[in-house]
A and B are shown apart, each in its own frame.
Chain A
Amino acid sequence: MAKQISVFLENKAGRLAHVTRVLGEAGINIRALSIADTSDFGILRLIVSDPDKAYEILKESGFTVSETEVIAVQVPDSPGGLAAVLEQMSEENLNIEYLYAFLGTSENNALVIFKVEDIEKARQAFTKRGIKFLDEKRLYQL
């Protein structure tokens, strides 16, 4: 399990720069990010070195922030690696809300961040099927 920081952003110039500047000045490193957007707004999703601190700091800076539970899955860094994981998740009827790639690797595996509908069910399924996922302490330190 891992904590993702989600930030609401209007589609306006300089907003993303502002968020990243605030985090940078607090000494927080961004480990992974993705942006989902509509024509009016976007949601910035971040895995950072210190999520609790990031949450506090962004909140103090006036952003709408939330913490979300996600899973960082180790995916073989080879052709078909992600497909194999997704196929198994499909077999287990795990609904994925969204996913994005992590910057960097772990034990020669790529890391993919999954937001699933039922995180406990996902954890059990991964354990059963031998799909590896990182605990949060290791993830933040990568």
Chain B
Amino acid sequence: MIYWDQEKECMPLEQLRELQLRRLKETVYRVYAFVPAYQKKMDEAGVKPDDIKTLDDLKKLPFTTKQDLRDNYPFGLFAVPMSEVVRIHSSSGTTGKPTVVGYTRKDIDIWAELMARALISAGATRHSVIQNAYGYGLFTGGLGVHYGAEKIGASVIPSSGGNTKRQIMLMQDFGTTILTCTPSYALFMYEVMKEMGIDPADLKLKAGIFGAEPWSENMRREIENNLKIDAYDIYGLSEIIGPGVAIECSYKNGLHIAEDHFIAEIIDPETGEVLEDGRQGELVITAITKEALPIIRYRTRDLTALDRTPCACGRTHVRMQKVLGRSDDMVIIRGVNVFPSMVESVLLNIPGVEPYYLLVVDRRGNLDELEVHVEVSEKIFSDEIRKLEELEDLIRRELESALGIGVKVRLVEPKSIERSEGKAKRVIDRRKI
């Protein structure tokens, strides 16, 4: 099987555009009627649902941002009554309030459908044994992949993240053929396999579907060579639906965006102007089939470019390049979204600590590491090492509990962190993505 739903995935473009337009119009009417926040934004922008006559009219609609989700926390952007909502997920709890997303039963079905397409695209079949090492819980990765894997009839091992030695034991004993997790975790598993004296070539592993953080072609080669598998990139974000928004096919020349459910645009992140195909910019997605949380022109902050040239796999859906970076200062570390502002709010809650800090992200071995540099002001300085180490430790613990990942804290001299006139440089990313 090459496709999960050939009719949709290979739909002739003219037909696809008609379908998109019809679904877009429906969605715009629905949000205008049922979501006061959308109605308000559209009224302010002077656009009515009737103004959307062609796909090109999409650009008349205002953008939706993460802030809109926060402002309407938790359920303010839902377009259905809660009695229709069967599932609630939440972002990895970033700045302040997390962003909350909801699903109706139909939304869950569509999501499973998208993940089924993604898994098939990466070579899965009903005979596959899929070890799903994405975290299960509020994070969309675990359950998103899970439902898709069950839909295609594969055998799913819901191993969730962590406990790497056990993961590898399951891989050996259950004959895992497909691994799903973050790319950095896949490389970490390889390191542990080496320590355990296990040769990946002796495993039944054939492919991996990796996402939730940006990764490079170099990293793909490393994963493929080390684990002796095919590595596929998958893209998604909870605000849109979760994993499965876009997936690579066997040609690995971009990720096909499921265009029967989403409309993709690339904009200039500074001006908001829509850029032509091929230009690099920020990906903006409109979800045109979602019931609980339809989302109009969501600014993903992910930088990429769209390619509409035909793909040899036969799918007609547009391809996005592997994500190149972010248009904001968010960094993704081991699948967790980290904003400098989160670090700042933690630091400001520690008496005497001033908000001069820098996030340094690096990849040591195969795991991403976050080091937070904090300037030592006179208020927190002590002539005793022990007190400074206690302070370092306190900052580290506070950061770790707020961010949910391991952090190293380094105290630095005052003024050693670059001050800038405009936007302070808060992040140095040394990972070669």
Contact = CB atoms under 8 A, between A and B. Distances in A.
Interface of A: 4, 6, 8-10, 15, 36-38, 40-41, 43, 45, 62-66, 68, 97-98, 115
Contacts of A37: 385
A43 B383 CA distance: 6
Contacts of A9: 413
Given A9-B413, A63-B413, A98 B384 contact: yes
Given A8-B376, A38-B389, A43-B388, A68 B383 contact: yes
Contacts of A15: 413
A74 B377 CA distance: 34
B122 to A, nearest CB: 43
23 contacts: A4-B383, A6-B382, A6-B383, A8-B381, A8-B413, A10-B411, A10-B416, A36-B384, A36-B385, A38-B389, A40-B410, A41-B376, A41-B388, A41-B412, A45-B383, A62-B414, A62-B415, A63-B414, A64-B381, A66-B382, A97-B384, A115-B383, A115-B384
Nearest to B409: A40
Nearest to B408: A40
A97 B385 CA distance: 10
A115 B385 CA distance: 13
Given A10-B416, A64-B378, A40 B384 contact: no
Nearest to B410: A40
Interface of B: 376-378, 381-385, 388-389, 410-416
Contacts of B414: 62-64
Contacts of B376: 8, 41, 64
Contacts, number: 56
A6 B383 CA distance: 6
A66 B416 contact: no
A128 to B, nearest CB: 27
A8 B415 contact: no
A40 B383 contact: no
Contact of A66 (B383, B385, B410, B412): B383
A8 B376 CA distance: 8
A92 to B, nearest CB: 21
Which of A37, A41, A62 has its CB near the most chain B CB atoms (within 10 A)? A41
A66 B413 contact: no
A40 B382 CA distance: 15
Interface of A is mostly: strand
In the A-B complex, the 6 residue pairs with the smallest Cβ-Cβ separation, listed nearest first, are: A6-B383, A68-B383, A64-B381, A36-B385, A8-B376, A64-B376
Contacts of A63: 413-414
Contacts of B383: 4, 6, 43, 45, 66, 68, 115
Contacts of A41: 376, 388, 410-412
Given A62-B414, A64-B381, A66-B381, 19 more contacts: A4-B383, A6-B382, A10-B412, A10-B416, A36-B384, A38-B389, A41-B376, A41-B410, A43-B383, A43-B384, A43-B385, A43-B388, A45-B383, A62-B413, A64-B377, A64-B413, A65-B378, A66-B382, A115-B384
A8 B411 contact: yes
Given A62-B414, A63-B413, A38 B377 contact: no
Contacts of A43: 382-385, 388
A37 B385 CA distance: 7
Nearest to A66: B381
A120 to B, nearest CB: 18
Nearest to A97: B384
B251 to A, nearest CB: 47
A60 to B, nearest CB: 12
A36 B388 CA distance: 11
Contacts of A40: 410-411
B355 to A, nearest CB: 16
A64 B414 CA distance: 7
Nearest to B377: A64
Nearest to A65: B378
Contacts of A6: 381-383
Contacts of B415: 62
A40 B388 CA distance: 11
B379 to A, nearest CB: 9
A140 B377 CA distance: 27
Given A38-B389, A41-B388, A64-B376, A10 B413 contact: yes
Contacts of B412: 10, 41
Contacts of B411: 8, 10, 40-41
A14 B382 CA distance: 22
Contacts of A115: 383-384
A85 B411 CA distance: 36
Nearest to B384: A97
